[in-house]
A and B are shown apart, each in its own frame.
Chain A
Amino acid sequence: MNDVLNIGLVALILGLAVWTIVAREAYAAVVGFIAYGLLLTLVWVQLHGIDVALTEAAIGGGLTGALLIGAAARLRSTESPAHAERPGVLTRWLAAGVSAAVTGALAICVLVLPVPAPTLAPAVVANIAVTEVGNPITAVLLAFRAMDTLLEAIVLLFALIGVWSLAPDRAWGGRPGPLQQSDPNGMLAYVARVLPPIGIVAGAYIFWVGADHPGGKFQGATILAAMWLLVMMAGLADAPPISRTWLRWLLVAGPLAFITIGVVGAVHAGAFLAYPEGLAKPLILVIEFALMPTLTLILGLMLLGAPQRGETT
């Protein structure tokens, strides 16, 4: 019975993937991609990767989906001219050849993987007690491979700077996104009042249980960012001007705390990002707490886009 479900799921995902690629309209492709992300979440649940499933649902399907919908809406005016000019036969054959080669290379790589796959899972299980964290994923992300997480947070910051750098000169330092003028008694405003209390509790909960159960700062921060965006879209609050000092400080607070703790580790524990004995859990908590507002702000601001209007409006 389970096999039938799994086969059906895989068939659906493959079908959606093909459909996303062949869809002529950018918007249709984006909708296909979001559904694809949600089905992928189910696959991760079936593989017992609940942490990955949560991340895929929050970031892969939700946040990336919202970003792509915005991109598709902006590209709409260029879509029909782009369709009008068809690439030449040679270009199309070349594209097909390169795509087939990439697919073939990937297939060969998957097929030559050793069975059973090399794994560090036993090493993690043997050493997880040192970190006093119950969830092995969190232990890997914030203790054994903390460097990856640090670089991830910094990459996100760079991505936000990249988005901001698209701002026109006159709007630099101003507020991102268009001015929302919505009905204060409308449906959206109503939801933006009812949902955030629930969302904030859910986001904080997912952040807090990350130490011992599936969850963590990325998933929690995505939910908080979504609530913030909802309030801004409903016109109940305006986006902050990006020149604000408090905003800039919060954006670097997470990586800064992470690096500081890393340097302290280099002095006291012998290696960059090593935690002194017995202090692993408190230090991990400090990093998580410092990263949470940073991630929430980065994710929210990235969706809002480049600054478009001056500070006063």
Chain B
Amino acid sequence: MKLALELWTVVAVIAGAFFFLAGTVGLLRFPDSLTRLHALTKADNLGLGLVVLGLLPQMDSVSDGFKLACIWLLVLLSGATASQLIARTLRRNDSRP
């Protein structure tokens, strides 16, 4: 059982790290701001989410795990808001002659 949990942690954290890497590559390589935002949110949502999921079995107590999950949810909220605001500003600047 313990081995299975450790294995889960390794797999999930590596998968999370992969999304962070992919998000960073996208941020550097994508052609315009909107697609770069898209790449960035993949790192926040999926990357951090997978890392948190992977670390959950390693926590000492339920409350620690709860705090980790809360961190992920807060990052989701702030990431979504910031991307929305940036995207809206972009669109407003584009429509202006």
Chain A residues packing against B (C-beta within 8 Å):
187-188, 190-191, 194-195, 198
Contact = CB atoms under 8 A, between A and B. Distances in A.
Interface stretch (B14-22, B28-36, B53-61, B81-89): B81-89
5 closest A-B pairs (Cβ-Cβ)?
A187-B84, A191-B81, A187-B81, A187-B85, A188-B85
Interface in B79-97: 81, 84-85, 88
A140 to B, nearest CB: 27
13 contacts: A187-B81, A187-B84, A187-B85, A187-B88, A188-B81, A188-B85, A190-B81, A191-B77, A191-B78, A191-B81, A194-B77, A195-B77, A198-B74
A90 to B, nearest CB: 40
Nearest to B88: A187
Chain B binding site: helix, strand, loop or mixed by DSSP? Answer: helix
Contacts of A187: 81, 84-85, 88
A20 to B, nearest CB: 20
A190 B84 CA distance: 12
A190 B88 CA distance: 15
Given A187-B85, A187-B88, A191-B81, 10 more contacts: A187-B81, A187-B84, A188-B81, A188-B85, A190-B81, A191-B77, A191-B78, A194-B77, A195-B77, A198-B74
B71 to A, nearest CB: 11
A190 B85 CA distance: 12
A131 B84 CA distance: 49
Contacts of A188: 81, 85
A198 B77 CA distance: 12
A187 B88 CA distance: 10
Interface string B25-43: 0000000000000000000
Which residue among B78, B81, B85, B88 has the maximum number of chain A CB atoms within 10 Å of its CB?
A: B81
A168 to B, nearest CB: 29
A187 B81 CA distance: 6
A1 to B, nearest CB: 14
A254 B81 CA distance: 35
A229 to B, nearest CB: 14
B33 to A, nearest CB: 15
A311 B85 CA distance: 30
